């Protein structure tokens, strides 16, 4: 059955209710199972353990309240999966703090097993199940939702391409209506009429400066009465994608904060890197030895190839790779590849400098494995913008320097979005998007997607 645009929100709410009910039951079951496993074969005295029972009974309630307060059950998680994971992890962290604080204040001894099993194990289980759920919802909506109709309210044709690209990403049919200033109320009625006639699911105002603030409000409220979504094109660009907005007294002045990867969160990101990279290095040691052997018998030269790359805040660092080209290939780089342009991908595919073993290493990104040592020593991160060469610095746009706020990474949005099949401008946009929207949940998602890209070898040559 094909759903109309007007039915999509109701279907999303239905799926969200299923998620709320399922996760609520899961939290209760996890708490019960943890207590039963911890006290298997033991009979606790009800009176002596009364405070413990009360706190354990409050545990799932605290978790459910935190999930609700953090907005981890909002409709937006069905469209923005990263938010769904990030908010879930934030709610779980707050539950842990609240639970431990209550245990300390009321001097209640709670088994660490119960906390670890219920909270840490439960959070991991929640993330896995939520991933399956969101993919299921995506598939159901994609199969059952008819093509969406969008309405662009535009005054200048220069924004038309951005709107059309936005619609193309969502397989939406685009309708256009010119903003009118002569009789605003009449024009709003025309907008509403078009929304109803064409069953518009999303109305996009391409330039908020084309209208007075009270007119934007009036238009927005009128559109929302039809159950269509109101979207405004962001002419502030990066400013509105920062990590926090600070509202001052009166709620009319808004302070735009620094990107998510600030000094405090860098500590968390560094711990995250170390927790993952240390066991990974130990596990991959035999593979390092095999790769070294294959490189040595395939072509003469050093096993490792090192060059200088631009790191965090533009500082140079040594960037190692397993050698995948013949000795002296760097001298021929400009003559073979030239400067990055629209035909760069084709030249990469036919690069004559790559060795036989090198083609395999590059195909599956195995040549990048030595960079795990850079993560260990702190010059790189597991996830982040891919470092560029010093001679490529002049190609950075006016605002591309913001990508260097973060440490360079082994993988990132660019790595899972086509890599060498994408343009230079796309790559810069991906990197800046990562810096502005970073979260541990985003890192986990990008790492998971990287494994898929490595297996398929898409965009690597």
What H or E segment, with its residue span, contains residue 114? helix 112-115
* Dihedral in degrees, nearest 10, Cα atoms 420, 425, 428, 434: -90
Confidence at residue 239, expressed as pLDDT on a 0 to 100 scale: 45
Indicate if the pLDDT at residue 295 is higher than 60: yes
Lowest mean pLDDT among 205-209, 237-241, 295-299, 346-350: 237-241
Confidence at residue 322, expressed as pLDDT on a 0 to 100 scale: 92
Cβ neighbours of residue 357 closer than 8 Å, sequence gap 6 or more: 294, 295, 298, 299, 324
What sign does the dihedral 243-427-86-11 (CA atoms) show?
positive
Q: For residues 236-247, give the mean pLDDT.
A: 50
Centroid of chain to Cα 39: 40
Q: For residues 416-423, give the mean pLDDT.
A: 72
* CATH 3.40.50.300 domain extents, the chain: 149-235
Confidence at residue 432, expressed as pLDDT on a 0 to 100 scale: 83
- Taking each helix axis from N to C end, the angle separating 81-105 and 122-144, rounded to the nearest 10 degrees, works out to 150
CA angle 147, 149, 150 (to 5 degrees): 140
- How far, in Å, CA of 412 to CA of 409, rounded? 7
Indicate if the pLDDT at residue 289 is higher than 90: yes
What sign does the dihedral 163-165-169-171 (CA atoms) show?
positive
| Better-scored residue on pLDDT, 131 or 114 | 131
Indicate if the pLDDT at residue 356 is higher than 70: yes
Indicate if the pLDDT at residue 373 is higher than 90: yes
Name the E strands within 142-244.
149-154, 173-178, 200-205, 229-232
| Better-scored residue on pLDDT, 92 or 30 | 92
Confidence at residue 279, expressed as pLDDT on a 0 to 100 scale: 92
Q: For residues 104-127, give the mean pLDDT.
A: 73
Confidence at residue 42, expressed as pLDDT on a 0 to 100 scale: 47
- Residue 198's SS3 state is coil
Name the E strands within 131-271.
149-154, 173-178, 200-205, 229-232, 245-247, 254-256
| Better-scored residue on pLDDT, 247 or 395 | 395
Indicate if the pLDDT at residue 112 is higher than 70: no
- Taking each helix axis from N to C end, the angle separating 81-105 and 50-69, rounded to the nearest 10 degrees, works out to 150
| Better-scored residue on pLDDT, 396 or 342 | 396
- Residue 163's SS3 state is helix
- Residue 213's SS3 state is helix
Indicate if the pLDDT at residue 316 is higher than 90: yes
Backbone angles phi, psi at 231, to 5 degrees: -130, 135
If phi over 0 gives left and psi between -120 and 50 gives alpha, with beta otherwise, what is residue 227?
left
Indicate if the pLDDT at residue 379 is higher than 90: yes
Give the DSSP letter of residue 212: -
Confidence at residue 154, expressed as pLDDT on a 0 to 100 scale: 83
Indicate if the pLDDT at residue 47 is higher than 60: no
Task: Provide the pLDDT confidence category of residue 243 given band limits of 50, 70 and 90.
Answer: very low
Indicate if the pLDDT at residue 282 is higher than 70: yes
Backbone angles phi, psi at 364, to 5 degrees: -110, 20
Confidence at residue 144, expressed as pLDDT on a 0 to 100 scale: 59
3-state secondary structure 274-293: HHHHHHHHHHHHHHHHHHHH
Which CA distances in Å does 318 have to 44, 309, 361, 399?
60, 7, 20, 25
The 10s digit of each residue's pLDDT in 246-275 is 555 555 565 555 566 666 677 788 888 998
Cβ neighbours of residue 290 closer than 8 Å, sequence gap 6 or more: none
- Following DSSP, what letter does each residue of 23-86 receive, concatenated? HHHHHHHHHHHHHHHHTTT----TTTTHHHHHHHHHHHHHHHHHHHHTTTTSGGGGT-HHHHHH
Cβ-based neighbour number of residue 431 at 10 Å: 25
Indicate if the pLDDT at residue 88 is higher than 90: no
Confidence at residue 38, expressed as pLDDT on a 0 to 100 scale: 58
Confidence at residue 48, expressed as pLDDT on a 0 to 100 scale: 47
Task: Provide the pLDDT confidence category of residue 62 given band limits of 50, 70 and 90.
Answer: confident
As assigned by CATH, the class of the 149-235 domain is: alpha beta
Task: Provide the pLDDT confidence category of residue 459 given band limits of 50, 70 and 90.
Answer: low
Task: Provide the pLDDT confidence category of residue 159 given band limits of 50, 70 and 90.
Answer: low
Strand partners, 141: none
| Better-scored residue on pLDDT, 436 or 135 | 135
Indicate if the pLDDT at residue 45 is higher than 50: no
Confidence at residue 420, expressed as pLDDT on a 0 to 100 scale: 62
Backbone angles phi, psi at 366, to 5 degrees: -70, -20
| Better-scored residue on pLDDT, 217 or 103 | 217
Cβ-based neighbour number of residue 229 at 10 Å: 17
Supply the mean pLDDT for the chain: 78
% of the chain with per-residue pLDDT over 90: 13
Q: For residues 107-132, give the mean pLDDT.
A: 76
Task: Provide the pLDDT confidence category of residue 344 given band limits of 50, 70 and 90.
Answer: low
% of the chain with per-residue pLDDT over 70: 75
Task: Provide the pLDDT confidence category of residue 410 given band limits of 50, 70 and 90.
Answer: very high
**Whether 284 contacts 372, CB under 8 Å:** yes
Cβ neighbours of residue 132 closer than 8 Å, sequence gap 6 or more: none
């Amino acid at each position: 059955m094909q759903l109309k645009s007007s039915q999509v929100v109701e279907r999303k709410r239905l799926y969200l209710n299923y998620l709320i009910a399922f996760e609520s039951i899961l939290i209760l079951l996890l708490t019960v199972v943890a207590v039963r496993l911890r006290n298997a074969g033991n009979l606790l005295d009800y009176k002596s353990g009364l405070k413990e029972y009360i706190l354990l009974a409050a545990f799932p309630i605290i978790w459910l309240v935190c999930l609700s307060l953090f907005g981890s059950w909002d409709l937006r998680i069905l469209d923005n999966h990263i938010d769904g994971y990030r908010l879930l992890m934030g709610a779980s962290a707050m539950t842990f703090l609240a639970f431990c604080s209550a245990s300390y204040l009321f001097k209640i001894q709670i088994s660490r097993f119960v906390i670890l099993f219920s909270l840490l194990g439960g959070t991991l289980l929640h993330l896995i199940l939520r991933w399956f759920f969101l993919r299921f919802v995506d598939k159901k909506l994609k199969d059952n939702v008819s093509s969406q109709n969008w309405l662009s309210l535009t005054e200048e044709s220069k924004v038309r391409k951005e709107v059309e690209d936005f619609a193309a990403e969502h397989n939406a049919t685009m309708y256009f209506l010119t903003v009118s200033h002569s009789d605003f109320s009449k024009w709003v009625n025309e907008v509403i009429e078009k929304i109803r006639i064409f069953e518009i699911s999303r109305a996009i105002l391409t330039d908020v400066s084309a209208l007075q603030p009270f007119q934007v409000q009036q238009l927005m409220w009128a559109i929302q009465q039809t159950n269509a979504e109101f979207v405004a094109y962001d002419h502030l660009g990066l400013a509105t994608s920062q990590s926090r907005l600070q509202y001052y007294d009166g709620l009319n002045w808004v302070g735009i904060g620094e990107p998510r990867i600030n000094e405090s969160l860098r500590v968390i990101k560094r711990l995250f890197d170390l927790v993952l990279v240390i066991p990974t290095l130990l596990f991959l040691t035999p593979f390092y030895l095999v790769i070294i052997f294959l490189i040595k018998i395939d072509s003469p030269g050093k096993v490792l190839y090192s060059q200088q790359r631009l790191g965090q805040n533009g500082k140079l660092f040594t960037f190692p790779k397993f050698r995948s080209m013949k000795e002296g290939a760097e001298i021929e780089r400009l003559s073979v590849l030239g400067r990055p342009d629209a035909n760069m991908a084709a030249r990469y595919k036919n690069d004559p400098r790559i060795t036989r073993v090198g083609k395999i290493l590059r195909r599956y990104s195995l040549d990048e494995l030595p960079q795990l040592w850079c993560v260990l020593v702190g010059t790189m991160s597991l996830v982040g913008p891919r470092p560029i060469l010093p001679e490529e610095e002049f190609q950075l746009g006016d605002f591309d320097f913001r990508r260097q706020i973060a440490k360079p990474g082994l993988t990132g949005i660019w790595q899972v979005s086509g890599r060498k099949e994408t343009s230079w401008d796309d790559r810069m946009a991906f990197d800046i998007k990562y810096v502005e929207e970073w979260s541990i949940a985003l890192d986990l998602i990008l790492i998971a997607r990287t494994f898929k890209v490595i297996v398929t070898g898409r965009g690597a040559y």
